[in-house]
Amino acid sequence: MEIWERLSRLTPEADLDREAGEDEAAKRPMRAGPISWVTAGGKKMPILKALLTSACERNCAYCPFRAGRDFRRETFKPHEMAAQIELMTRRGFIRGVLLSSGIAGGSLATQDRLLKTAAMLRRDGYTGYIHLKLMPGAEQEQILEAMRLADRVSVNLEAPGEEYLSRLAPQKQFWGELMGTLTKAAKIKENLPPQRYGRERWPSLVTQFVVGAASETDRDLISWSVRLLREAAVKRVYYSAFRPIINTPLEGKAAERPERVHRLYRAFFLLRDYGFSVDELFPQNAASLPADDPKEWWAKTHLAQAPVEVNTAPPEMLMRIPGIGPVRAAAIVQARKETTIRSLTQLRKLGIPVSKAAPFILLDGRRPPHQETLW
């Protein structure tokens, strides 16, 4: 019980550390304490989310562990944390760990302690999932070692650009410490063969933004997300809704609405997987995403008067129809090789949610009957 309480004090109390597949809609705490359900590698699993220490030299304005906040700190040594992770895994409580730390004794020394913990686990034959945080300004060799040991590594940018970061974390350097570290990790993935370091492939690289703490716009966040996808080998961007923490400079600021975070996620996947551009998801010159679901808003604007012919449209166009993603688009393409699709019943048998798709499609040149609920 004492260990459990210590670990619980090392869990980010505002859920500031995000993990694979864990968004506002999907997060499912396993039980009280430091264990959370996440999705990693396509599977849901319970993992331990903890810091090596809640002591921190930095004074980030939103963070519960900031140096200027008065609360009880907790610290584990690397061998202590490794032992607890192994024990909790053997007992079936967890299947992996998201391991981060407050910055104590400098970023490099902190990174060394994180690496030592992970190395102890792997040396002892630990095969569970490990997500390691890269500290601001981590050195090349530290980043390489983290990527050798972990299944996922991350650098939390926190804000979309230097101006916004200065409002949240004035002691951090956006370009030198954060983007510099992210860029080093991306170059390792691009230039070094993983087999040389005993890996079949390099771990995935992700980042996170705190949403609503620095008065950033949706366009700021989405534009930076696309840039990271294209230029920094980032697989996914996570959006953490700001929640005020007592005894921090931002304690009086309103919490961010979950609906905004949900729209950001939807927009991100349209950009990453569906071929949309940033400008297509925003009304002209707007800084905020529309209140509707981004894909439905686009369809209302572009397809209502120019519906898509299901029997001839290429897959990338089918995927722009509400309710149709890559899998369903592939099912349509396969089905129309064998027959002409003329009815909603045929689409329904392919798993298409016809109530969403019907207002925006043609079936063999004709609009299908539908209730115009979107209007």
What is d(CA 179, CA 186) in angstroms, rounded to the nearest whole number?
10
Q: What is the per-residue pLDDT for 35?
A: 82
Q: Which residues of the chain have pLDDT under 50?
A: 13-32, 374-375
Q: What is the CATH number that goes with domain 2-204?
A: 3.20.20.70
In the chain, which segments carry CATH 3.20.20.70? 2-204
Q: What is the per-residue pLDDT for 184?
A: 97
Element (H, E) at 99: strand 96-100
Q: What is the per-residue pLDDT for 105?
A: 96
Q: What is the per-residue pLDDT for 31?
A: 43
Contact present, 74 and 86 (Cβ < 8 Å): no
Strand partners, 48: 35, 97
Q: What is the per-residue pLDDT for 371?
A: 55
User: Two tokens at 148?
Assistant: 């050798």
Q: What is the per-residue pLDDT for 12?
A: 58
Q: What is the distance between the terminal CA atoms of the chain, rounded to a whole angstrom?
A: 56
What are the φ/ψ torsions at residue 341 (nearest 5 degrees)? -85, 115
